[in-house]
Amino acid sequence: MPKEPDRGISPPVCQNWGMSLPSEEQVTEKLTAVIDPELRRNIVELGMVRSIDIKPDGQVDVTVSLTTAGCPIRSHFQDAVTSQVSSLEGVTKVGVGFDVLSDEEKGTLQQTLGRDKLPQGALAQVNNVICVASGKGGVGKSTMTSNLAAALQAQGLKTGALDCDVYGYSIPRMLGIDVKPDVNGERKILPPEAPSGVKTMSIGYFVEENSAVVWRGPMLHKAIQQFLEDVAWGELDYLLLDLPPGTGDIAMTLSQLLPQAKLAIVTTPQPAAQSVARRSAEMANKVDLEIMGVIENMSGFTTPDGETFSIFGEGGGQLLADDIGVPLLGTIPLSEELREHADVGTPLVVEKPESPAGAAIIEIAKRVAAMSPRELPMLQDASAEAPAAVKLGANARELPVLQ
């Protein structure tokens, strides 16, 4: 006989004094508001509701099928299901049980999502994912990522930084890390921690120093997928992704793997950079990534005498933000200190938080925190539609360096 699913029983909601019982359809409708925080779709749509049992005394038992037996957010599913079902008239108790999808069911779900692998819970405890992007190189995107991560961590928010710029990796250097990652007993990669407390991952940890990475699109897709799903990120308030410049394969990969991610666009003030950054916004719209705002870097240079020069022009960040209908998160002055600290791996926001550039980035970090939820997203509007899955990377191979 099949094993009875593990079941947690909620406290009594009320006594069913002759009230009518809810129908299975009503319970199912309530469950469409419970979402998988990694896949960003509701558990009914994903086929994760194994059974619904409505008893004469008003107790409703729901069995949820998980993608992995050791799901780290199992209790969150239990709380969300209990909250939704107990709101129905006539329900006196809610029991939530769990089992695991069969291999055949997992295969069907993979086809539905257009993925060659289901997440194993590595990102299940990550509350917010923010992709830091730019239309072109040289605008300070990686410097912004590393300093924003350090600033969020300094505010008491658990933060990670993932170097998705496989060809131009620089996060380890900018955050001052020169170690190789370890592997835990579950064969998950442990992300090296920067002196600032930021957890990190980069292809730079797995290649010889300053080695060139020469890969085609499918390999990039597989590398990013492994960094997201085979790394033990643990509980994080924020995971910042340093994207490569442009609008290529990485953006499409992330829209598939991280439909919950938001995009922050870094630009400099001049019209040339602004027009190229506009393409990043168009890319985000095409793959259903939400744009949270624009960051203008190198906005002006102030001499020791207090005179300010707009070396790269002015106002481009605000014009871009207005053009695409998102807020300007902040402007950072052109700063030699910002560059120097990035080169030696000591983020300016940590070493000199009172400096003009450091203070500006800290204010942006505060604004980002104010715009983002602190709790795991487990409930959604039942009428919300999930974005269509992007299919790519069918011929991707495993990364030998991560074995």
Q: Which domains does the chain have, with CATH numbers?
A: 6-113 (3.30.300.130), 126-371 (3.40.50.300)
The token pair at 38 is 């990694």
- Taking residues 62-85, report their average pLDDT: 85
Window from 181-195, 218-232, 331-345 with minimum mean pLDDT = 218-232
Q: Name 62's Cβ contacts closer than 8 Å, sequence gap at least 6.
A: 27, 31, 49, 51, 52, 53, 81, 85, 94, 95, 96, 97
The answer for residues whose C-beta is within 8 angstroms of residue 354's C-beta and 6 or more apart is none
Rounded Cα distance, 95 and 362, in Å: 45
- pLDDT value for 346: 96
pLDDT tens per residue across span 83-98: 999 999 999 999 999 9
CA distance linking residue 354 with residue 345, whole number of Å: 18
| Residues 301-319, mean pLDDT to the nearest whole number | 81
Question: Does the pLDDT value for residue 189 go beyond 70?
Answer: yes
**Where are the alpha helices (H) located in 264-331, listed in sequence order?**
271-286, 316-324
Is residue 395 over pLDDT 60? no
pLDDT-based confidence at residue 398 (cuts at 50, 70, 90) = very low
Q: Picking from 91-95, 260-264, 269-273, which range would have the lowest pLDDT averaged per residue?
A: 269-273
pLDDT confidence band for 229 (50 / 70 / 90): confident
Q: When comparing pLDDT for 163 and 257, which is higher?
A: 163
Nearest 5°: CA angle at 125, between 222 and 97? 105
Poorest-confidence range of 100-104, 294-298, 344-348, 367-371? 100-104
* Position 396 pLDDT exceeds 60: no
pLDDT band with cut points at 50, 70 and 90 for residue 22: very high
Contact residues for 246 (Cβ-Cβ < 8 A; gap 6+): 135, 136
Query: Nearest-5° angle of CA 172, CA 268, CA 350?
Result: 40
The predicted structure's pLDDT at residue 244:
83
What's the chain's average pLDDT?
Answer: 81
Residues 351/252, Cβ–Cβ less than 8 Å: no
Q: What average pLDDT does range 10-18 have in this prediction?
A: 54
pLDDT above 70 covers a percentage of the chain that reads 79
Residue among 107, 42, 35, 105 nearest 73 (CA): 35
Please tell me the distance from the alpha carbon of residue 144 to that of residue 141, in angstroms, as a whole number.
Answer: 5
| Whether pLDDT at 9 is above 70 | no
Q: How confident is the model at residue 270 (pLDDT cuts 50, 70, 90)?
A: confident
Percent of the chain exceeding pLDDT 90 equals 41
pLDDT surpasses 70 at 376: no
**Minimum mean pLDDT range among 55-64, 130-139, 247-256, 299-308:** 247-256
Average pLDDT over residues 264-272: 87
* pLDDT for res 130: 93
What pLDDT, on the 0 to 100 scale, is given for residue 400?
A: 36
pLDDT, tens digit (0-9, with 9 covering 90-100), for 381-393: 544 444 343 333 3
**Could you tell me the CA-to-CA distances from 376 to 35, 118, 256 in Å, in that order?**
10, 19, 19
- Residue 241: its pLDDT value, please? 94
Q: What is the mean pLDDT of residues 61-66?
A: 92
pTM > 0.85? no
Question: Of 30-44, 245-259, 300-314, 363-377, which gets the smallest average pLDDT?
Answer: 245-259
The torsion angles phi and psi of 366, rounded to 5 degrees, stand at -65, -40
- Decide which of 84 and 9 is more confident: 84
Tokens linked to 361: 């980035």
